[in-house]
Amino acid sequence: MSTALEQIGANRSFGGWHKRFRHASATLGCDMVFAVYLPPQAEHGPVPVLYWLSGLTCSDENFMQKAGAHRIAAELGVAIVAPDTSPRGADVPGDPDGAWDFGHGAGFYVNATAAPYDRHYRMYDYVVSELPALVEAHLPVTAVRGVAGHSMGGHGALICALKNPGRYRSVSAFAPISHPVDCPWGQKAFTGYLGADPAQWKAWDAVELIATAGERLPILVDQGEADGFLAEQLKPEALRAACAAAGHPLTLRLQPGYDHSYYFIASFIEDHLRHHAAALLR
């Protein structure tokens, strides 16, 4: 793993700093950019960190600019790290038809096993292992971690927590793709990254992982009832049923009138940050 971080941006925000960094990723075989919000408390010592995983078409910038999370993170003393959503670059294959729901901006937080994507698309290893090791080595944060995300990133947050008992103290999601083996977005991505055998997909599906999870970490999920992707792509009721069957603690809040946008995220991000802080700061 490369240990060099190149700072490419810095902005003062609510007494802390929003910074962007570039580094060479050995896991992904390309340069990657990520953002971090360091609250004012980080100037006096390391703080816990929430890893935020964004959705389809996003980069590190969307959440940091649109979610309105800095003010509450500054109050609570929690850092936020936002990676990109996929490897990128001229040598990184994307969707052959240029579609927005696969390839660049759509890494789905899995470790690809099918060519040609297996060389670069190892976003799971990147967000679980390489990026935290880099962040914890070079920035004033501790190894006390939470994970959250939106849509594709909500799927990512859930599987990262479910597959790694003890690694995270908290988990939450906005409108997650809860059951990707049973929705068009997930089926397309998993076929491309993992191959055509659906049996291989289940290891990357939150609904399939709940029953055998090695830790019953409480899950907070917010879902807009006016979300245009709700019925076909997101499947929150499948997540509810799986959690009920396994006795896994889930708070699933259906929010009337809210859609899939960052207006929805900004409306409830304070609740999620406080949910994480209760675990990260205990």
Active site residues: 151, 227, 260
Could you tell me which residues come within 8 angstroms of residue 200 by beta carbon, excluding any fewer than 6 positions away? 113, 190, 194
Distance (Å, whole) CA 196 – CA 200 = 8
Taking alpha carbons only, the member of 114, 140, 172, 121 closest to residue 43 is 140
Kindly tell me the burial class for residue 206, based on how many C-beta atoms sit within 10 Å of its own C-beta (0-12, 13-18, 19 or more). Answer: buried
Q: How far is CA 278 from CA 165, 243, 272, 275, 281, in A?
A: 18, 22, 10, 5, 6
Please spell the DSSP secondary structure of 233-271, one letter per residue: II-HHHHHHHHHHHT--EEEEEETT--SSHHHHHHHHHH
Cis peptide preceding 87, ω within 30 of 0: no
